[in-house]
Amino acid sequence: MPLPKDYSGQNCAIARSLEVVGERWTLLIVRDLFYGVRHYNDLRRHLAIPPAVLRDRLNHLVEEGVVQRTAGPGAYHQYTLTKAGVDLWPVVWSLLAWGERHRSSGTKRIFIHALCGRPLHRTGQCSTCQTFPAVKDIITQLPPRSVKRPPDADDAPLDKVAATLREPHRLLSPI
């Protein structure tokens, strides 16, 4: 018996929120939109997500007012977070911080307050000026020792998003 797709029996804000962002892949799409990914093909390549799933999740996020789809160059659409989407930053940040503390086995990204150049505490607060910076004022980067690929690294080229994120990059700035 398949699981239901909604939480109609739950009168709870968490349940209603999960109806919007709780399906597999959805928060990873939102994360990549925070990184500045704008194009369907870049999302598909970076996430290695099945095309039908990506279309479904993007359409759902657009319908729910989390993502805006606009005409881009040529016949392509661009995807950006709406205000409601940007308001998901504390959720994404909290999941990231929790995952790094309890589930991470890979390279941990560094998030820096662009206005003072200092790293964010796991709470999302700037470690120096004690503010919670706006998303557009956060830079993400890899730790310095992890930027260069080791000599035995796979020879496969990095996708555009992964290549861009090897360098410091301000959140919400287009990739």
Mean pLDDT of 122-127: 94
Residue 89 in tokens? 């930053």
pLDDT per residue as tens digits for the range 146-173: 655 555 555 567 899 999 999 999 999 9
Of all residues in the chain, the percent with pLDDT exceeding 70 is 91
If you compute the radius of gyration of the chain from its CA atoms, what whole number of angstroms results?
Answer: 17
Global pTM reads 0.89
- Would you state the pLDDT for residue 5? 67
**Bridge-partner residues for 126, per DSSP?**
120
* pLDDT at residue 158 in the model: 87
- The string of pLDDT tens digits covering residues 7-63 is 888 889 999 999 999 999 999 999 999 999 999 999 999 999 999 999 999 999 999
Residue 147: its pLDDT value, please?
A: 53
Task: Tell me how far apart the terminal alpha carbons of the chain are, to the nearest angstrom.
Answer: 41
pLDDT of 88 above 90: yes
Q: What integer best gives the mean pLDDT of the chain?
A: 91
Top-level class of domain 13-84: mainly alpha
pLDDT at 153: 54
Domain boundaries, the chain: 13-84, 86-170
Average pLDDT over every residue of 138-149? 80
**What integer pLDDT is reported at residue 2 of this predicted model?**
67
pLDDT above 90: residue 75: no
CA 70 to chain CA centroid, Å, is 19
How confident is the model over 119-146, as a mean pLDDT? 93
Please give the full DSSP string across 71-135, using - where no structure is assigned: E-STT-EEEEE-HHHHTTHHHHHHHHHHHHHHT--SPPPEEEETTTTEEBPTTS-BTTT-----G
